[in-house]
Amino acid sequence: MDERVREHAAVLVDWSARVEAGDDVVVSVGPDAHELAVAVAEELGDRGANLLATYSSGEVTRAYIRAHDGDFDESPAHERALVENADVYLSLGGGRNTSATADVPGEQRRAYNDARSELRETRLGTRWVSTVHPTRSLAQQANMAYEAYREFAYDAILRDWESLADEMAQLKDLLDVGSEVRLVSSDTDLTMEIEGRTAVNSAASVAYDSHNLPSGEVFTAPYATEGEVTFDVPMTLRGESVRNVRLEFENGEVVDYDAEQGGAVIGEILETDDGARRLGELGIGMNRGIDRYTDNILFDEKMGDTVHLAVGRAYDACLSEGESGNESAIHVDLITDVSENSRLEIDGEVVQRDGTFRFEDGFDG
> Interface with a copy of itself by CB under 8 A: which residues?
22, 24-27, 29, 31, 34, 37-39, 41-46, 48, 50-57, 59-61, 63-69, 71, 73, 76-82, 84-87
Minimum gap (Å) between residue 2 Cβ and a copy of itself: 15
- Kindly report the length of the chain: 365
Q: How far apart are the first and last CA of the chain?
A: 47
Minimum gap (Å) between residue 150 Cβ and a copy of itself: 20
* Residue whose CB is less far from a copy of itself, 61 or 241: 61
Minimum gap (Å) between residue 80 Cβ and a copy of itself: 8
Q: Is 44 helix (H, G, I), strand (E, B) or coil?
A: helix
User: Cα dist. 343→49, 286, 306, 319 in Å?
Assistant: 46, 15, 11, 26
Furthest-apart CA atoms within the chain: distance in Å: 60
Q: Classify residue 288 by its DSSP letter.
A: T
* Residue whose CB is less far from a copy of itself, 126 or 185: 126
* Residue whose CB is less far from a copy of itself, 206 or 317: 206
Minimum gap (Å) between residue 139 Cβ and a copy of itself: 20
Minimum gap (Å) between residue 15 Cβ and a copy of itself: 18
Minimum gap (Å) between residue 36 Cβ and a copy of itself: 10
Q: Which of 51, 23, 118, 124 has the alpha carbon at shortest distance from 80?
A: 118
Task: Find the DSSP H helices in 271-305.
Answer: 297-300
Minimum gap (Å) between residue 49 Cβ and a copy of itself: 9
The helix (H) or strand (E) run that includes residue 250 is strand 240-250
* Residue whose CB is less far from a copy of itself, 137 or 352: 137
Distance CA 168, CA 238 (A): 31
Minimum gap (Å) between residue 204 Cβ and a copy of itself: 23
* Residue whose CB is less far from a copy of itself, 52 or 102: 52
* Residue whose CB is less far from a copy of itself, 101 or 328: 101
* Residue whose CB is less far from a copy of itself, 75 or 188: 75
* C-alpha atoms less than 13 angstroms from C-alpha of 28 in its C-beta half-sphere: 20
* Residue whose CB is less far from a copy of itself, 65 or 235: 65
The helix (H) or strand (E) run that includes residue 182 is strand 180-185
Distance CA 157, CA 209 (A): 17
* C-alpha atoms less than 13 angstroms from C-alpha of 264 in its C-beta half-sphere: 4
Degrees to nearest 5, angle at CA 230 with 224 and 232: 140
* Residue whose CB is less far from a copy of itself, 26 or 181: 26
Cβ-based neighbours of 198, under 8 Å, separated by 6 or more: 176, 220, 317, 318, 319, 320
Other CB atoms within 10 A of residue 364 CB? 8
Minimum gap (Å) between residue 350 Cβ and a copy of itself: 49
Q: Classify residue 364 by its DSSP letter.
A: -
Distance CA 274, CA 125 (A): 26
Minimum gap (Å) between residue 90 Cβ and a copy of itself: 12
Helices 3-10, 146-157: inter-axial angle, 10-degree rounding: 30
* Residue whose CB is less far from a copy of itself, 86 or 254: 86
